[in-house]
Amino acid sequence: MSASNSAPRGVAVVTGAATGIGRAIALQLAREGFDLALPLLDTADSAAASLVAELGALGAASLPLRCDLAEVEGHAETAEAIRARFGRIDVLVNNAGRGSAVRGDVLDLRPADFDAVMGVNLRGTLFLSIACARLMLAAAPAPRRRAIVTISSVSAELASPERTDYCVSKAGLSMAMKALALRLAPEGIAVFEVRPGVIRTPMTDAVAPKYDARIADGLVPAMRWGEPEDVAEAVAALASGRFAFATGSVVAVDGGLSIPRL
């Protein structure tokens, strides 16, 4: 699907878009007719600069913004900067997150490491969602249906004791999105959760040989890695506004990994 040249461009916010899944999402949304606000931990990074150039080549305006998700006190300022540049938000894609600080025995989990993961994956993401939802509600009626799409993980449901902090953060995020879906449904704002499985990104480079072997042994029924573009296509569909009577839905993009099996 591509946007009509005469259609007004939407405004999408994508966190963590410099690399991996977030980058693929930002580029796909640009192809679908969105301009992009890009809250990033480091706006001076070369990956961020190249993304802005690629978005421009696709005809999309972009606004990189320095944003540390864990610093929730700055989220209202981030949302206001987006409003000042684009006037509104049509779609928020919560993609940014972090992995466990240390993988190991759950009995050795340290409170500081737990708090660091929660600060980004759950607390930071929830409060940025709240800040953007408030802006959506305060803006004039949008030309397209609005949505919040949150990238969680199959780990919201499938337990990995060696990274309990990460799994708990994603399970909590799933519940937070259910609450937002109920609150925002009367306002015409849909909320969706996308759960990727084993996706080939820079974050999975270190464990690629392990997952190559496990995929070959049948871990993923589709018998392949997921690619960032697989997730991006799902997000773009949810952001399109075509699912007019859906909200609170969970979409697994995992090649069947999370299907219970005997």
Answer yes or no: is pLDDT of 4 > 60.
no
Whether pLDDT at 45 is above 50: yes
166 is a catalytic site residue: yes
Over residues 225-240, mean pLDDT = 98
Tokens read off for 139: 């803006």
User: What b/e string do you get for 223-250 counting C-beta neighbours within 10 Å, with b at 16 or more?
Assistant: eebbebebbbbbbbbbbbbebeeebbeb
pLDDT in tens, 64-95: 999 999 999 999 999 999 999 999 999 999 99
- pLDDT for position 259: 96
Over residues 114-149, the pLDDT tens digits come to 999 999 999 999 999 999 999 999 987 766 789 999
pLDDT attached to residue 139: 87
34, 86, 127, 166: which is the annotated catalytic residue? 166
Say yes or no to pLDDT of 1 above 50: no
